[in-house]
Structure 1
């Protein structure tokens, strides 16, 4: 079982789970990995699965946290998805690890899943304490949102901010439809969206604090944030990019290629899991097992 811990981002606390190797010895110093969850997710879901396996099978200390404004973490306003704060969460997680006597501060890695992969890649460009980076089905969230009427969305955000400034109720939307039926009624029948609903909104992967709520005004920051911007100059750490070959609408297949091709890393590897979809790599044993068979030796080599 993980240890529940807290660390500060600015004035609020970030809730996290710390995982230990099975043969943990508090007198030793370990390599560690920060794990970053997708948008709409929390630490107990897919990033937590990878954190647990990297600790138990790989022998690493792993830390997975709820993004600020979400889950059990603090911060106001609630349900805000703010890329700049997400990046700062990662830096603060690294700060926390450097304070632990059983962590070797010179051997800290970073893993991100889905949008967390985009945030991880971006954070690593300026956070030089991170020595190795891996992504699983990484998505550049800004790319995804820019492809769906971005100017109309920005106009709507402006109108909503004006309304809220003048006393209107805050607008909280959903990340995904609440059910497959609702998605199909709205014309959203692409398999990535249907699998997202199956993961987040059914017993397969749902968790009480993953509440499917997104503050609409987040969209202006999400649209303008390019997770891979300047990766060709500043993403120099060893890099492992993992994704499946079932190409869905969420774009992790093409984003995986873009990140791999753009990164300045002299040591980089791309691994494509055949027959796997975006959400297979969230929790399905065969797909995640293949990913872990790549992740564990990668981090062992580069956090040696």
Structure 2
């Protein structure tokens, strides 16, 4: 593995490039871009789990930090802007096609959680992706619109964002909020008990998955575009690549990856598409737990081998 950089617009993106065993730079290989979840970084599930395991199976993998997050550049910091996140994937392909040992006609993409939604959206207009895989893909726009599930939640969120942007335009400090509670105690005090929230705190805020590149910071004023965004918009028309979707069959959580998986499967125009349900697995089990991730990879690996002509 080596750490590399490539450009998105004017700033540097930072990524981990992994190689197959017995790598020979005189040969060409299929490559897979690995996109991390919302709030995550390349050192977590996208790179350390899926990127690593796919490299062991003979693929070159590229796991990057999203713009404005982790080690990547971009301003304003800690933004969650769908258009920029989708462009990250295109720029990752731009980098891969400059490498003489990457076959430009055998590039795939794998996204986890919100990164799965971004990967799907990117693949609709990035035809250099020849195969698309997702693990517990979530539609971040839907999550933003549903909010706390109260009537007009989206409009309330947009009103709050508008007020914050006005304050910042007049000189106020940026409002940095969090994606999840910073501890189980904080979660309990907030009265949050959904399985996805409980397990998110366990993954991101304990030694299990905690990483410096994932500080749980979110610039609130950046969120308006996400409220009006749909990760699966036009999938019926533009998503034609072979598609493999992995979801957990355990308790469905608030992030909605279970229902999003079925929605994506039904909406995708892809003539070759499969939906894998990992029995008993929750959303976060499929981030790093050995048995569920092994089951996911048991189908992802042959899927990519078939459709990337390996």
Task: Tell me the residue number matched to 1:199.
Answer: 203
1:130 corresponds in structure 2 to 129
CA shift digits 1:28-76 (9 cap, x unpaired): 00000000000100000010110010001x2000000000000000011
SS at match of 2:77: coil
SS at match of 1:76: coil
Q: Which of 206, 209, 212 does residue 208 from structure 1 map onto?
A: 212
Find the aligned partners of 1:268 and 1:227 in 2 and give their Cα distance: 17
The separation in 2 between residues aligned to 1:172 and 1:222, in whole angstroms, is 16
Using the TM superposition, give the Cα deviation of residue 89 of structure 1 relative to its aligned residue in structure 2, in angstroms. 0.5
Given that 2:79 and 2:223 are in contact with CA atoms closer than 8 Å, whether structure 1 keeps it comes out as no
Matches within 5 A, 1:25-104: 25-48=24-47, 49-56=49-56, 58-104=57-103
Q: Distance in 1 between matches of 2:207 and 2:222?
A: 28
SS at match of 1:258: helix
Q: Does the 8 Å CA contact 2:81/2:225 hold for their aligned counterparts? A: yes
Structure 1 consecutive aligned stretches of length 4 or more whose deviation exceeds 3 Å: none
The 2-side partners of 1:249 and 1:126 are apart by: 29
Deviation at 1:171, TM superposition (A): 0.3
Q: State the match for 1:147 in structure 2.
A: 146
Shift of 1:218: 2.2
* 1:219 equivalent among 219, 223, 233: 223
Mapped partners of 1:86, 1:250: distance in 2:
19
Alpha-carbon offset, residue 245 of structure 1: 1.1
- The equivalent of 1:291 in structure 2 is 296
Contact map agreement 2:34 2:61 (CA 8 A) in 1: yes
SS of equivalent to 1:286: helix
Give TM-score, length-normalised by structure 1. 0.99
| Contiguous gaps of at least 5 residues in structure 1 | none
The corresponding residue for 1:163 is: 167
The number of residue pairs the alignment matches comes to 302
Find the residue that maps to 1:59 and give its secondary structure: coil
Within the candidate set 161, 165, 185, 2:189 is matched to 185
SS at match of 1:81: coil
**What is the alpha-carbon root mean square deviation over aligned residues?**
0.6
What secondary structure, in the 3-state scheme, does the structure 2 residue paired with 1:104 have?
strand
Say which of 272, 275, 283 aligns to 1:270: 275
How many Å apart are 1:194 and its aligned residue? 0.6
Aligned twin of 1:240: 244
How far the C-alpha of 1:181 sits from its partner, in A, is 1.1
Partner of 2:150: none
